[in-house]
Amino acid sequence: MNVVIPLILIGSLAHPEFVTCHLWKRTEGRDGKVCVYTGPNGTIAYHYAQRSFTECPRQFQCRYAPNSKGRVTLKDIMKGISDGF
């Protein structure tokens, strides 16, 4: 039984599942121009444009990462602290 779990994890890393992600928003930060995409079950993906936002496709196949978070909010930090006590 102990061998089955690592084999399942290795299989999911070697052959990741891809889903269609759609353009959610475009933002410009200190790292440059960033296009943010969303997919099913909270999947979030990023594309860093080199010159302009026209480089960002409306949709593409991104790696499936359910319930991924782009940024940690203050609410998430407070919840983590309260769960620790």
Residue holding tokens 């499936």? 64
Contact (CB, 8 A) for 54 and 37: no
Q: Could you read off the pLDDT of 57-69 as tens digits, one per residue?
A: 999 999 998 877 6
**Helix or strand or coil: residue 1?**
coil
Interstrand relation of 59-63 and 18-29 (parallel, antiparallel or unpaired): antiparallel
pLDDT given for residue 38 in this prediction:
92
Q: Could you read off the pLDDT of 23-38 as tens digits, one per residue?
A: 999 998 777 899 999 9
Residue 21 has pLDDT above 90, yes or no: yes
Range in 4-8, 50-54, 58-62 the model is least confident about: 4-8
Contact (CB, 8 A) for 48 and 33: yes
Mean pLDDT of the chain: 78
Using the 8-state DSSP alphabet, how is residue 80 labeled?
H
